[in-house]
Structure 1
Amino acid sequence: MPGARPSLKTGRAFVVAAAAGCLVGLVGGAFRWCLEHADRLRGSLVGTAAGLGVAGRLVPVALCAVGAAVACAIAQRVPHAAGSGIQHVEAVWRQESDQHSLWLVPAKFVGGVIAIGSGLVLGREGPLVHMGAAIGSVAGHRGRLDAEDARLVHTALGGAGLAAAFIAPLGGLLFVCEEVTRTIRPRLVLLTLVGTVAAVVCSLSVVAGAPVLPMPEVPDPPVWMLPVFLLFGVAAGALGAAYSALVVRTLEACDGLTRVPATVRAAAIGAVVGALMAVDPLLAGGGDPLSMRLLAGGGMTVVALGTYLAVRFVAGPLSYAAATPGGLFAPLLALGALWGTLAHALASPLLPGQAAGPAAFAAVGMAALFAGVVRAPLTGVVLVVEMTGTSVLLVPLLVACFAATVTADRLESEPIYDSLRRRMLERP
């Protein structure tokens, strides 16, 4: 019948999204499993080396330097494999760049495990968004979808990758609508929902289903604290603008070293991060252990918080400039937790006893700094709620993310993935 063909096409797109979402979930679960074991192995190795005296301090340096160089060499063999990859997903959506090759998946997977597992200050979400989009792109082609449906599935599966990274299906959906496409289309929303749910369900067959960054129960912050969170968000927006600028400036500085091979630059950056890791393992890596510690109540001095914040503020952009597979989200969330806990420690003498505690400020800081850098406030709020498993901070999160987004805009700070996408398209 004449009317049967459109419904068949519609059904095929959802079947493709569901099947590809399952594959994204399995890949995402395997990626997280590998990274968790790599982190444990790295921690054990660094701990053992610390007992060997001065010579043992060189072990983390060598580990991170070699890991960065190998990951950079892998990324150089596949176009767009270096860095986060989210900017490439956005460029494909805007039809500014070609779609992905399936070779991107093993390059991102292996390179990401080596780079992040060796201790670089990078996150797992960028590679998983990129791998998800690549799987979606190939699935759309193999499923014989038309050009528009293939483009929708490609983008939807990028959101599925984020969902698998953080066990955050709603965060993946909002990320697609608020950041990647900046539009809400019913068909795109439904395809993304199918892909993210399938990805999360399948990833849970590989990794645990508990919140990624669990935090203890916190009381509802009193209403009178909302202006405090508003001011806190303003400061987070300014900090986010500075962080975005530092990421871009660090990349430009490394680009200027044209006579130095990319793998040598990566090894040098890895050696610097490895030296930090030899001093304190919490100064390196994606930052999840640090975020969990702060969400549990911290227990750090103001000096320690300031030191961690300053060092990781520089180490994140420096690690990203190594041109290995790796994202910005996880280190950014850890930085936001540090900033929130530090702000609470500085302001606590002025706050009454019933004010929100350091854990609440850490959680709000994660979302606010994310909003200031990425400029996707709703995504930041929902990600933090899903990752921590708490919703009592919803109103402070919304207030702080609003203030951070407006502040970064007023400072004329370009959203980080807009900067990275423009930079990617301008480069040969």
Structure 2
Amino acid sequence: MPGRRIGARAFVVAALGGLLVGLVGGAFRWCLAHADALRADLLEAGAGLGPAGRLLPVVVTAAGAALACVIARRVPYAAGSGIQHVEAVWRRQSDALALWLLPAKFAGGVVAIGSGLVLGREGPIVHMGASVGALAGHHTHQDPEDTRMLHTALAGAGLAAAFTAPLGGLLFVCEEVTRSVRPRLVLLTMVGTVAAALGCRLVVGDAPVLPMPGLAVPPTWSMPLFLLLGVAAGVLGPAYSALVVHTLETVEGITRIPPAAKAAAIGAVVGALMTVEPLLGGGGNELSERLLTGPLPGIGALLLYFAVRFVAGPLSYAAGTPGGLFAPLLALGALLGTLTQALAAPALPAGAPGAAAFAAVGMAALFTGVVRAPLTGVVLVLEMTGSAPLLIPLVLACFAAALTATRLDSAPLYDTLRHRMLQRP
């Protein structure tokens, strides 16, 4: 099978399917952008109504979480990220579910993430992309192996659409989903991710997700600082992964309360946090952009953001709604990098890299510490930010994060989530 040639039809299916994934992913991002704007207006309106008005975001976020939970429970595997299900299908541990998964992920994800839960858009788009791949393979009468490859390849197209990162989508498929480099799959994924990125641009434009101002190449003497940042991310990554799993188990273990009610309670907590500070909720894109471009909060605010979002991300994931882990994780990494620079700044000489460089490197490093996919982390951040001068610091930090997390005997998060998914009825 590995040496079997790919016919032209498979490339056409991957291209057209990738284009559709890009349009769906772009529409999903468009809906979330408008939901974010509505949520900001709601928070502003609530603040203007006095103490009673502060309950408005709490009620709305609780209702959104409950509704998204109800939607997700109607369709198997619709809750959570979905990446673990994509990996299980590739390993022939589960079947691809396509028809009802698309609307459930789309509607549930918009409601959950749009209402302010600390979840990412990439999980639902990856899962929807995989579903498009399975449907495309089935309806064009591809053989089972090519259908499985299209399912996986267009999952990578989903990541490309989520972050406008076609190379990141390709590496994600090879490094995280399949942990192999198969020529047929690589070619199909290349076609799918490029088509998805182009399709998504038609909806949301072609600007980088997190554009950064011009950066100078960090001086050689500063490389040990980025290496230490990677070590810190490698320590915090396993802790974050363990908290995600522990929170899931704790919430699922409360069986006397209906799932929708538990989701509403979690939504109310997140809504209350947003009344204190809007950046404590949501996927984290606005927070990441602020850390990369300024103005920067003080050290006290950075510590608050980090501590609260470190807990709020796993708590939101335990609500049982559609939503991913990548985007909140990237924001948390940006906070880690910014904090590192802020604490070290008094001792650094002139010409030291600024906070933006540490924030970008922290994003990739903490991603690597949790997911254990260093190449994907490096390329994803490069494509999202356009920060090519940070290539060497990114590689060093992700190497240190992956090595440290592995030495701590911590399993990659999606491996653990996949095993949990397969053990549940």
Q: TM-score range by the shorter chain?
A: over 0.9
Letter in 1 for 2:351: Q
One-letter identity of the residue aligned with 2:99: L
Superposed CA deviations along residues 390-414 of structure 1, whole A, max 9, x for unmatched, are 1000000000000000111111111
Aligned pair 1:330/2:327, yes or no? yes
Superposition deviation, residue 283 in structure 1: 0.3
User: Which residue does 1:3 correspond to in 2?
Assistant: none
The equivalent residue for 1:33 is 30
- Whole-angstrom distance in 1 between the partners of 2:114 and 2:280: 14
Q: Report the Cα distance in structure 1 between the residues aligned to 2:380 and 2:218, rounded to whole angstroms.
A: 20
Match of 1:186 among 183, 187, 212: 183
What is the letter of the counterpart of residue 306 of structure 1?
Answer: L
Asked whether 1:409 is paired with 2:406, we answer yes
2:376 matches 1:379: yes
Displacement of 1:100:
1.6
**1:9, distance to aligned residue in structure 2 (A):** 5.9
Deviation at residue 101 of structure 1 after TM alignment: 2.4
Q: Counterpart of 1:350?
A: 347
Match of 1:120 among 117, 138, 141: 117
Deviation of 1:348 after TM superposition, in Å, equals 1.0
Deviations 1:14-48 (A, max 9, x none): 11111111110110110000000000011011111
1:228-267 counterparts in 2 under 5 A?
A: 228-267=225-264
Mapped to 2, the partners of 1:302 and 1:9 lie a distance apart of 55
1:93-242 alignment runs, 5 A limit: 93-242=90-239
Q: For the residues of structure 2 that align with 1:160 and 1:302, how far apart are their CA atoms?
A: 38
Aligned residues of 2:382 and 2:388 also touching (Cα < 8 A):
yes
Aligned position for 2:313: 316
Which consecutive segments of 4 or more residues in structure 1 shift more than 2 A? 6-9
User: Do the aligned residues in 2 keep the contact of 1:360 with 1:393 (CA within 8 Å)?
Assistant: yes
Identity among equivalent positions (%) equals 70
The 1-side partners of 2:4 and 2:212 are apart by 45
> Structure 1 unaligned runs (5+)?
1-5
Which residue of structure 2 lines up, in the alignment, with residue 280 of structure 1?
Answer: 277
2:5 & 2:401 partners in 1: Cα distance? 45
Secondary structure at 1:381 match in 2: helix
Query: What residue is the counterpart of 2:393 in the other structure?
Result: 396
> Any idea what the Cα deviations from partners look like across 1:146-195, whole Å, max 9, x if unmatched?
11111111100000000000000000000000000000011111000110
Mapped partners of 1:298, 1:346: distance in 2: 17
Distance, in Å, in 2 between the alignment partners of 1:60 and 1:80 is 28
User: Partner residue of 2:363?
Assistant: 366
* C-alpha deviation, 1:420, in angstroms: 0.4
The alignment partner of 1:393 has SS state of helix
Q: Is the 8 A contact 1:298 1:359 kept in 2?
A: no
CA distance in structure 2 between the aligned counterparts of 1:367 and 1:35, rounded to whole angstroms: 23
Structure 1 residue 85 and structure 2 residue 96: aligned? no
Offset at residue 226 of structure 1 (A): 1.1
CA contact (8 A) 2:133 2:152 kept: yes
Moved more, 188-197 or 218-227: 218-227
- 2:424 paired residue among 410, 424, 427: 427
Q: What is the distance in 2 between the residues matched to 1:253 and 1:413?
A: 20
Is 1:341 the counterpart of 2:348 in the alignment? no
5+ long unaligned stretches in structure 2: none
Give, in angstroms, the shift of residue 7 of structure 1: 9.5
Alpha-carbon deviations, 1:377-402, whole Å to 9, x = none?
01001010000011000000000000
More divergent stretch after superposition (352-361 vs 68-77) = 352-361
Q: CA deviation at 1:279?
A: 0.6
**2-side partners of 1:111 and 1:229: how far apart?**
38
Shift of 1:297: 3.5
RMSD: 1.1
> SS at 1:373's partner residue?
helix
Matched-pair contact (CA < 8 Å) for 2:334–2:360: yes
Structure 2 SS opposite 1:392: helix
* Structure 2 length-normalised TM: 0.98
SS state at 2:24 partner: helix
Deviations 1:244-282 (A, max 9, x none): 010000001011101111100000000000000111110
Q: Could you tell me how far 1:237 is from its partner in structure 2?
A: 0.7
Q: Tell me by how many angstroms 1:327 deviates.
A: 0.1
